[in-house]
Chain A
Amino acid sequence: MLKVSLTLVVLAATAVPAAAQYRIGMSAAITGPASSTYAPTYEAYKVYFKRVNDAGGINGQKVEIAYEDDRGEPQRAAANAKKLSEGSILMVNASTSATYKPFMTESETEKIPLLFGGGVCPREAFPPASPLIFCSTSFGSKWDSRFALGFIKEQAGGKKVKVGFAAQDIPLSRIELEFAEQLAKEMGLEAIPVVVVPGNTPDFTPFAQKLKDAGADWVLSWALWHVEVGVFEALQRIGWQGSYLLYGHQQTQDELTRLKAPTLHAFGGNTLFMENLPIHAEIGNLVKGQTTHPAHYMAEGWVSAMVLEAALKKCGWPCPRDKVATAMAGVSVDTKGLRGGPIEWTADNHYRKSTYYKVYRWDPAKNGIAPVGGWTRLEIK
């Protein structure tokens, strides 16, 4: 009898086939100093693919995502890249640029596609794109400055304006705003040299004073949120009368409401949830009680997850690494209003054919946040 039972147990155990599924590895700054920017992407992925799996998966296969926290640190990222590439068909990075190098090296060595879904897009995603590097993030180095300076010029209405730049003491922010400083000159704007602000300064006033004394009419900031807004608040406090344009991270909606400052403009690639689109309500219902961040922090991760779902659908089953890379290179995703237009990748453009920007600010007349104009489309060549 015992022998029969044991045989049945062994048979039962061996009869279950190894679950065929899409295996993805994701490394994100779930904790650490930069996590307020990246942790919502991780949460959005979890909720999004739970829904996908609950509905039966993609092409009849579940999507299994292994998550690892890299805290935005390159050493941890290097360990995560090794671990996540084993058995995965694709890796996702939602972390600081300091973590990119080990992931890109692993991607190249192991011939595994790599999707940047929350951190700034690396140049390898732009034309001519590296075959395995893709990026769904709304913000893009250099393109953001192009848009921002165009916006400032348009707002100036032909008047001569002096533009100041508030960067953070991280390479990415400095490089971007040094590029912007140069571009501003080429565009006929008067540029004040970039002021670099340490992220953990106890007081932003001396940096703000420098910009004010230089006579800035506009200040552009492209950094982590607390630096962008810290400089603005200090400028406001010391009586600066100019206008401020910053990149709108996930905190934008909360912060524009808190500050209620009509001179503070936030630009970005995602629609703010105060626009109440059907997709916003859909996300709101799905994340309720599932995430530590509110629904309006989810846009970046949601779009990235939509793109991944579309790529896996296109890949079919079975879906090895080379096939998923080919599928991604031809993907076209309707973002349902989360962005100004679709995300379309081609063989040599893994950023998107067109990118869209919108500016928001506090409107005292409406006592709420309002867009400043509509979407601006920039063609990526």
Chain B
Amino acid sequence: MTQVLATTVVVASLYALLAAGYVLVYRATRVLNLAQGDMMTLGGYCLFLLATAAPGSPALSIATAAALSAVAGFFIYRLLMRPMAGHPIFAAVLVTVTLGILLRAAIVLVYTDRIRHPLPLLGLANPPRRLPGGAVVSTFDLLTVGAAAVLFLALFAFLRLSPLGIQMRAAGEKALLAAQRGINFQLLFALSWALAGFAGALAGILYANNVRLDPSLGVLGLKAFAVALVGGLDSLGGVIPGALIVAAVEVLSVRYGDPLLADVSPFLCLLAMLLVRPWGLFGTKEELERV
């Protein structure tokens, strides 16, 4: 049972990192960023690129890969999303779908579909760790949980305490009022995309070191999308219970039910939530109308 619990927390942490990107972009811009899974893959390949260029410098490679992904997020907004202002939201969503396809194609062109493992290039190992109660997880499993915890604490602190964060919340909650107060929307939108890029990259970097790196990792983004919707698309706080529920159902279905259910369980959770509470656990009802 402790192993089930440990695995649930690890999977939930990965989903939470990815889902944070969906929520950040949606809260600020009302756009569903369906390229979030591919931004995760991009983060993993940024790390692979840096690890190949400068082997044996893990801290530098990881930090630079995450920073590069944040910069990529910024430019995605500046070059692709900003020109969509004034167009219907669905057009912007389609741009994110296209972006995801292009990112995947570009990665295949440069790196092919071969499975990569940046860990040896970084000079790191991923030994198993025994937890109290007997569960065993990998070192990068623990780092994933830690990264998710730190990211969410930092995001909560940023949104509640920093002037920019407060402006971001204000813009997300009452856009018109915030505009009348002279808030720089362009900066906030760009920042939300950069943060989404950063969160996605963290997930990609950790997953690439823990499991593997290949261009199809973006599929995990779909499961995280279900997490964001279960938690509430405009609620960062909702991501955590959403991720835990989806991950628990997925892990329990493997352990005690049919392993084949694992793949569809996030979408069963989503379906159940849509039937009972379409705006998600902590989302606001009016937001759904905007969607």
Contacts and interface: CB of A to CB of B under 8 A. Distances in A.
Interface string B131-149: 0000011100000000000
A200 B7 CA distance: 16
Interface in B244-269: 251, 254-255, 259-260, 262-263
A210 B254 contact: yes
B70 to A, nearest CB: 23
Interface of B: 3-4, 7, 10-11, 14-15, 105, 108, 112-115, 117, 120, 128, 136-138, 207, 211-212, 214, 216, 219-220, 223, 251, 254-255, 259-260, 262-263
Contacts of B3: 205, 209, 238
Contact of B128 (A39, A169, A202, A239): A239
Contacts of A225: 115
B117 A202 contact: no
A203 B7 contact: yes
Given A39-B113, A206-B251, A207-B259, 16 more contacts: A35-B113, A169-B260, A198-B263, A202-B11, A202-B223, A203-B14, A203-B211, A205-B3, A206-B4, A206-B262, A209-B4, A209-B255, A226-B214, A238-B128, A258-B117, A292-B112
Nearest to B222: A200
A200 B128 contact: no
Contacts of A210: 254-255, 259
Given A202-B15, A210-B255, A238-B3, A293 B112 contact: yes
| Pairs A-B, 9 closest by C-beta atoms | A206-B254, A198-B263, A35-B113, A36-B113, A200-B219, A237-B128, A292-B112, A205-B7, A33-B216
18 contacts: A31-B113, A36-B114, A36-B214, A39-B113, A195-B259, A196-B260, A198-B263, A200-B219, A202-B220, A202-B223, A203-B7, A205-B10, A209-B7, A210-B255, A226-B115, A233-B211, A237-B137, A238-B128
Contacts of B108: 31, 35
A317 B194 CA distance: 63
Nearest to A251: B115
A201 interface: yes
B36 to A, nearest CB: 15
Contacts of A35: 108, 112-113
Contact of B263 (A36, A169, A203): A169
Contacts of B115: 36, 225-226, 251
Interface of A: 31-33, 35-36, 39, 169, 195-198, 200-207, 209-210, 225-226, 230, 233, 236-239, 251, 258, 292-293
B141 to A, nearest CB: 8
A225 to B, nearest CB: 7
A33 B104 CA distance: 11
Contacts of B219: 200
Given A210-B254, A230-B212, A238-B136, A201 B263 contact: yes
Contacts of A36: 112-115, 214
Nearest to A174: B260
Nearest to B219: A200
A118 B211 CA distance: 26
B260 A239 contact: no
A142 to B, nearest CB: 23
A236 B259 CA distance: 20
Contacts of A258: 117, 120
Contacts of B11: 202-203
Nearest to B252: A206
B263 A200 contact: yes
